[in-house]
């Protein structure tokens, strides 16, 4: 990623992707929370996660609307959460006992009484937002003020970068947007916490992948040979052998034998008898460049087969 000196507070794309995954969890939790609160089936979809200037974010919001300033304790700075009027007024109707299916489009400011009715809704949204951010850091999202005109909410400098999260909420035939903005400079301060979260995730994923590979390998077939190796012989001596020559292997019974797995020396053992058969009892596991759990399990067992 090229460094933009005009926007030194921008965060890397990897961190933007991490925020996208974090808010995937948020929207899944929000579906069940809002469905229970409004007693109605709804769907919530994460539409976009992008970096914009604060001025660009405000320009994309309708006017009038319901826009809230968020405290981000213990971090300095403020975030923003906005609910479109096309979503706010049907929700208010449902909170007052209606169906929320009114087809009339309402374009007006929200009254103080209606703002109080929305307090419960925002408490649920912010609770789910806190839970979604917990794996990274504990952020206490709190409502500091509520406005109806986006341009009146002077929380950040117009050119300051923010991470904008666009979420679509559908209640029956009603569709509206919820937009969240957090200062990029605040999220940039959390970079180490994001890195720690991803290192834990990668470790867990690696453990799961290793277990999956091991399950597949357990079904594989191997060739196992117990070799009683005697003295070496030169090619000249081998070519000079004739019928009637006697070749002494000179292999004492107490000498350990090599157990070869797919051509590689893996175990050392002793010749034993099991009934009428000869077998090899494993006494030592030879270290290999990589020995996973499968080798450790094999070390405590024994392999048997007909002697050579």
CATH number of the domain that residue 36 is part of: 3.40.1550.10
39 lies in the same domain as 138: yes
**DSSP characters for 158-198?**
TT-EEEEEEEEEEETTEEEEEEEEEEHHHHHHTHHHHHHHH
Helix axes 13-38, 191-217, angle to 10 degrees: 90
Note the pLDDT of residue 308: 38
Indicate whether 157 and 226 sit together in one domain: no
pLDDT along the chain (308 residues), means of 10: 52 83 91 89 91 90 90 89 90 84 73 88 93 88 89 84 92 89 86 61 62 80 79 84 82 78 83 82 63 40 40
Rounded to an integer, what distance in angstroms lies between the CA atom of residue 132 and that of residue 138? 10
6 located within any domain: no
pLDDT of residue 281: 84
- Report the pLDDT value the prediction gives residue 135, as an integer from 0 to 100: 85
pLDDT, residue 203, reads: 52
Tell me, what's the pLDDT at 107? 78
pLDDT for the residue 254: 75
99 within domain boundaries? yes
In 92-251, which ranges are E strands?
140-147, 161-171, 174-183, 224-227
Return the pLDDT at 294: 40
Q: Which two tokens stand for residue 266?
A: 């893996």
- The CA–CA distances, whole Å, from 131 to 77, 128, 140, 206, 246 equal 20, 5, 10, 25, 81
- Comparing C-alpha atoms, which of 79, 266, 297 is closest to residue 183? 79
Q: Alpha carbon of 303 to those of 12, 239, 285: distances in Å?
A: 54, 36, 12
Of the residues 166, 189, 212, the one at which a domain ends: 189
Any idea what the CATH number is for the domain that residue 297 is in? 2.30.330
User: Do both 171 and 270 map to the same domain?
Assistant: no
Whether 65 and 139 map to the same domain: the answer is yes
Residues 47 and 184 in one domain: yes
- CA dist., res. 19 & res. 27, Å (int): 12
The reply to whether 245 falls in a domain is no
Q: What's the structural domain count of the chain?
A: 2
* Backbone angles phi and psi of 181, in degrees to 5: -130, 135
For residue 165, being part of any structural domain is answered with: yes
Let me know: does 26 contact 132? Beta carbons within 8 Å: yes
Give the per-residue pLDDT at 226: 81
In a shared domain, residues 258 and 307: yes
Is there a domain that residue 212 lies in? no
Q: Is residue 35, in this structure, part of any structural domain at all?
A: yes
131 and 269 inside one domain: no
28 with 156, same domain? yes
Same domain, 60 and 185: yes
Q: Please check whether residues 181 and 287 belong to one and the same domain.
A: no
> Are 172 and 30 members of one domain?
yes
Give the range of the structural domain holding residue 276, as residue numbers without chain letter. Answer: 221-231+250-308
Residue 239 lies in a domain: no
* Residue 238 forms part of a structural domain: no
Query: Do 51 and 145 fall into the same domain?
Result: yes
For 94-150, the pLDDT digits (tens) are: 888 887 776 567 778 888 888 888 999 999 999 999 999 888 888 899 999 888 888
Q: What is the CA radius of gyration of the chain?
A: 35
How many CB atoms within 10 Å of residue 251?
12
């Amino acid at each position: 990623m090229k460094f933009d000196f005009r926007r030194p507070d921008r965060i890397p794309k990897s961190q933007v992707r991490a925020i996208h995954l974090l808010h995937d969890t948020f929207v899944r939790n929000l579906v069940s929370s809002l469905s229970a609160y409004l007693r109605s089936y709804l769907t919530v979809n994460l539409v976009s996660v992008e970096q914009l200037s604060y001025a660009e974010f405000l320009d994309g919001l309708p006017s009038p609307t319901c826009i809230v300033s968020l405290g981000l304790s213990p971090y300095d700075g403020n975030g923003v959460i906005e609910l479109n009027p096309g979503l706010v007024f049907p929700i208010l109707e449902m909170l007052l006992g209606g169906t929320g299916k009114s087809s009339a489009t309402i374009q007006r400011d929200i009254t103080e009484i209606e703002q109080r009715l929305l307090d419960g809704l925002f408490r649920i949204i912010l609770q789910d937002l806190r839970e979604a951010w917990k794996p990274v850091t504990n952020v206490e999202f709190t409502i500091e003020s509520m406005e109806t005109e986006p341009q009146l909410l002077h929380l950040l400098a117009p050119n300051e970068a923010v991470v904008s999260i666009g979420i679509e909420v559908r209640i029956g035939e009603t569709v509206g947007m919820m937009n969240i903005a957090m200062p990029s400079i605040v999220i940039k301060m959390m970079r180490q916490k994001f890195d720690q979260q991803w290192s834990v995730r990668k470790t867990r994923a690696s453990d799961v992948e290793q277990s999956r590979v091991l399950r597949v390998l357990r079904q594989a077939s191997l060739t196992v040979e117990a070799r009683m190796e005697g003295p070496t012989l030169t090619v000249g001596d081998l070519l000079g052998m004739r019928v009637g020559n006697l070749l002494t292997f000179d292999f004492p019974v107490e000498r350990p034998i090599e157990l070869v797995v797919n051509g590689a020396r893996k175990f050392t053992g002793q010749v034993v008898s099991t009934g009428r058969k000869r077998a090899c009892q494993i006494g030592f596991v030879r270290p290999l460049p990589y020995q996973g759990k499968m080798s450790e399990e094999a070390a405590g067992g024994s392999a048997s087969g007909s002697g050579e």
